[in-house]
A and B are shown apart, each in its own frame.
Chain A
Amino acid sequence: MAAGSDQKKYKVIGTRPIRPDGADKVTGRAIYGADVQLSGLVHGKILRSPHAHAKIKSVDVSAALQAPGVLAVVTGADFPELKDKIAQLGEGAVNLAYLSGNLLARNKVLYKGHAVAAVAARTANQAEEALKKIRVEYEPLPAVTWVLDAMQDDAPLLHDDIHTDSMGNKSEKPSNISTHLHFETGDVGQGFKQADVVIEREFKTASVHQGYIEPHVATALWNTDGRLKIWTSTQGSFTARQQTAELLQIPVSQVTVVPCEIGGGFGGKISVYLEPVAAMLSRQCGRPVKMTMTREACFEATGPTPGSYMRVKIGATKEGKIVAGEAYLAYDAGAYPGGMIGPGCMCVFSCYEFPNAVVDGYDVMLNKPKTQAYRAPGATHAALACETIIDELAEKLKLDPIEFRLMNAAREGTRRVDGPVYPRVGLIECLEAAKASEHYQSALKGPNRGRGVAAGFWFNIGLKSAATANVNADGCVTLLEGSTDIGGSRASIAMQLAETLGIAAEDVHPAVVDTDSVGYTDVTGGSRVTFATGMAVYQVGRKIRAQMMERAAELWEVDAASVSEADGVYSSGEHALPFKALAVKLHEIGGPIVGSASVNPQGSSNGFGVQIADVEVDPETGKVSVLRYTVIQDAGQAIHPSYVEGQMQGGAVQGIGWALNEEYFYGEDGQMKNASFLDYRMPTALDVPMIETIIVEVPNPEHPFGVRGVGETPIVPPVAAMANAVYAATGVRMRDIPMSPPKLWKALAEKESS
């Protein structure tokens, strides 16, 4: 169901054609990273730290080199020294020393699972057996895995050369706090004075993992001519190329990255873990080397999203107007600086008008794997804090929770605490759609049941995209793009080109090609592909259209200015031909028609969403069942509504898992105790109802078809919506996430006895 304005009528956009990659995927023929087979292929395996924090005193690989089948062994010492080298990696500056240190540890291991050495052997089993022969002498150090503990002065220090950067000022002593961010608007002191109700609460969340079903996998061939080719499962073939080139200190053009089909990424498949290691092993042994991570390594040594501590305070007048907000956010970054605290700070108050607000954020290092993006990174945490307090305020003020949100909702002209002023955005429309929904209008009856709502915001970025299209002799169009397809974007991009050209979606054949075959394209992330790569193909389409008009004039021997195009039909006087028929004729009389374009839109397309959760809690066990769940979201313009709905449903389910059971469970020894899908409990199909969706369409003025990104916003509200629903069902406010059965039962028992 789609609500909202629909000013333009499209022929292709808004329809639901079969996805171009569908047949290959449902028949098992699609080539994923694990399917790559090359002549002479050998297998690489990684030795990982058994300690959460330790000095590496020595590494002896001599016995491993002699082990059966072994062809190469590498350690951090085989890679270029990259001290204080900064690289621009598309999504911001990265200190390469940290990237390199995370790839293979030097001097110190900083978390359990930290890679120490790698072996290539003829078989995977031989490589594994050889790992056992590598002698590493460790000096174990105290470890810290909770963000507030890591911030203490006497906490075990991870890096002795990192000092807290507090708005340009560096701390005197080295610290686990790499950055202190501060945003301020208005006068918070004055603001709270105007408040009739003030609520301040503390929140904790555990680290959670993206949980993509396909483990990281990469194959590298360092050819004798010095050229390096990599087949990998990645969200960005160009960033994989650049990171690999930087870590190996070779020119980017020496590297070709072939993106394979990807079995989920959600932000976790942007950083490279295996590619440069496989490359170095290949250089040593002269063979293609394939590396696949275990699930345990995916949990222990890739990039989960931060654990967090948050303290948030919001004040409102008795009429229901928010007057002030204050937030203290401490997010763990994992073992290296540069976590998700920035977006956390920008998102915490992003859904409402806060005339006065102050936000302090801390990026904190500790003995966990380096955090990476996970769908709206940092925003879900912040939304839990803000939206729980908003819910409490609404209750105190005896206002309907949606009504209270509507009274304060961010709109065109609202200034976010970090500065930007919103253009036309769709939060109010989402709240209205939620309020009017059959779900919200129907009563929830029965004991131990409750309903919660929450709103959420994510920026959605632009950045660089390129695309090329070739008009074939039969009038169909081949589209080459560099955006790896993790969520159905081949369809949504092809449809935008089809719409631009006035042809059927099925007449555009999209292909995600390697880094030598298309212009530079940033990662598939930040909900940017349908927006930015869509913009690129719109330009491609306009260029092809212009060429078609010129060539039609030649064909018809008329003045070029007399040729026009409408709905894919080209005409001049008595001449008129649809795109395909004209393309066939043009191919017969002249050179091929090709269009290429590249774009680099800046700023954000501002996606808002609202979610409604109905739950039932078993008071004897603390187990939460989700009875009904609706996701409402502004998509700007849904290109392929099925994939928009899929994103909305998928994000909500991941957020429900985060709320209820998912967590990195650490022991006293700083080791993760549940690095498997058995004990890291993501929801299964039996744990959630069919997620209902309402697509709201408030077109984005910055895009030719009005697209806003949709992939990330849906994971922002769920944790808060579930916490609010559990409160409604039980009277207990859960502020320590996940609300796993042992914790919720304990909270219920404490409420009972008090």
Chain B
Amino acid sequence: MKPFDYTAPSTIADAVSLLSQHNGEARVLAGGTDILVQLREGLREAGIVIDVKKIAELRALDCCSTSGLTLGASTPCAEIYGNADVCNAYPALTDAARIIGGWQIQSRASIGGNLCNASPAADSIPALIALNAVALVAGPSGQREIPVADFCTAPGRNALAAGELLVCLQFPAPSANASSAYQRFIPRNEMDIAVVGVGSWLQLDESGQTILSARVALGAVAPTPVFAAEASDWLAGKPATEDTYRQAGELARKAASPISDMRGTAEYRVHLVGVLTQRTLAKAVQRAAG
């Protein structure tokens, strides 16, 4: 590990200016649970580490029934699942926040960091995609929005341009009779990385019998987390039954293009997409029904 400088700006403008100034050798530190390990193991190098936890906007956690959720990019997981409103309105997000690392990690690790790290197996990203979250990004030429579904571009790579900083994630206001769930498969019960992860969101009609619309997203089955568009579209108008979930699982499998590695074979991962799609849809329906 090479020595590096450290700085902790308190405004977005300062952070963006530092990022531009040190383009290419600056690394952003939120919770640090990925970047510190990567620096120590030589997977990434840094000339300067920019700590963004002191910027107020990046620590936001505003949950509102009409305007939705604004989640600062460096807000730690523990604060997120510690907020009852967020747990009620965005359970897929808190499902994910609860299983990223152990308690000590969760008091540091942020969803923004999990997204920017752009691991194909990141636990929060399928949940964010299912919840239709949008990333608000600040850069030298102002701010722009990027749907989370388009944020990751390759393993470890994201859509941020030079000098850009992820400020927050914006979630649509909660809909009536809607809910969500995220589940991953891991061989152990803890301390593990998703072999496959699936996030599902859906809205039921007033009777609770029919699915009005749905979004299913998959992790660890492609170079980036993916939105399972065909399965999601197909679910609209279907009865909320086990058979529907199973068929949706079949369709979701088509969106998976996994590799075989030490975490599982491609064949097994495709199979798990079906199982977890089915299970998360059932869970989301159960939650939506209250």
Contact = CB atoms under 8 A, between A and B. Distances in A.
Contacts of B268: 741-742, 745-746
* Size bracket, chain B contacts: 20 to 34
Contacts of A686: 188-190
Contacts of B263: 679
A149 interface: no
A741 B187 contact: yes
B261 interface: yes
Contacts of B193: 678-679
A84 interface: no
Interface in B185-218: 185, 187-193, 195
Given A125-B1, A125-B2, A678-B193, A660 B187 contact: yes
A128 B185 contact: no
A340 to B, nearest CB: 24
A125 B188 contact: no
Contacts of B188: 661, 681, 683-684, 686-687
By secondary structure, the B interface counts as loop
Secondary structure class of chain A's binding surface, majority of residues? loop
B275 A620 contact: yes
Interface in B262-276: 262-265, 267-268, 271-272, 275
Interface string B241-273: 000000000000000000001111101100110
Interface in B163-199: 185, 187-193, 195
A673 B189 contact: no
A213 to B, nearest CB: 13
Contact of B185 (A125, A621, A673, A683): A621
A600 interface: no
Contacts of A673: 261-262
A684 B191 CA distance: 8
A686 B192 CA distance: 12
Interface string A638-671: 0000000000000000000000110001000000
Interface residues of A, number: 24
Interface in B215-253: none
B189 A684 contact: yes
A741 B275 CA distance: 14
A673 B192 CA distance: 15
Contacts of B3: 125
Contacts of B192: 678, 681
Interface in B107-166: none
Interface string A673-689: 11001110101101100
Contacts of B275: 620-621
A129 interface: yes
Contacts of A677: 191
Contacts of A741: 185, 187, 195, 264, 268
Interface in A87-139: 125, 128-129
A623 B185 CA distance: 9
A256 interface: no
Q: Which of B190, B191, B272, B275: most chain A CB closer than 10 A?
A: B191
A740 interface: yes
Contacts, number: 54
B3 to A, nearest CB: 7
Given A621-B275, A673-B261, A746-B268, A740 B189 contact: no
Contacts of B271: 745
A660 B192 CA distance: 14
Contacts of A683: 188
B256 to A, nearest CB: 15
Nearest to B279: A620
Nearest to A123: B3
B231 to A, nearest CB: 18
A742 B262 contact: no
Given A673-B262, A686-B188, A686-B190, A621 B1 contact: no
Given A741-B187, A745-B271, A128 B265 contact: no
A684 B189 CA distance: 8
Contacts of B2: 125, 129
Given A673-B261, A741-B268, A742-B264, A681 B187 contact: yes
A273 to B, nearest CB: 20
Contacts of A125: 1-3
Interface string A731-754: 000000000111001100000000
Given A674-B262, A742-B265, A128 B1 contact: yes
Contacts of A745: 268, 271
A740 B3 CA distance: 41
B40 to A, nearest CB: 9
A304 to B, nearest CB: 15
A683 B188 CA distance: 7
A625 to B, nearest CB: 8
B1 A687 contact: no
A7 B250 CA distance: 66
Nearest to B276: A621
Contacts of A623: 185, 187
A624 B42 CA distance: 36
A687 B188 CA distance: 6
Interface string A345-388: 00000000000000000000000000000000000000000000
Nearest to B272: A621
A147 to B, nearest CB: 19
Contacts of B191: 677-678, 684
Contacts of B267: 746
B258 to A, nearest CB: 12
A673 B259 CA distance: 14
B135 to A, nearest CB: 27
A661 B185 CA distance: 14
Most chain B CB inside 10 Å of its own CB: which residue of A620, A621, A623, A687: A621
A451 B131 CA distance: 43
A132 to B, nearest CB: 9
Contacts of A665: 262
Nearest to A672: B262
Interface string A699-717: 0000000000000000000
Contacts of B262: 665, 673-674, 679
A129 B2 CA distance: 7
Interface string B20-50: 0000000000000000000000100000000
18 contacts: A125-B1, A125-B2, A125-B3, A621-B275, A623-B185, A623-B187, A661-B187, A665-B262, A678-B191, A678-B192, A679-B262, A681-B192, A687-B190, A740-B187, A741-B195, A745-B268, A746-B265, A746-B268
Given A128-B1, A679-B263, A684-B189, 4 more contacts: A128-B42, A665-B262, A679-B193, A684-B188
Interface of A: 125, 128-129, 620-621, 623, 660-661, 665, 673-674, 677-679, 681, 683-684, 686-687, 740-742, 745-746
User: Which 6 A/B pairs are nearest by Cβ-Cβ distance?
Assistant: A665-B262, A742-B268, A686-B189, A674-B262, A673-B262, A686-B190
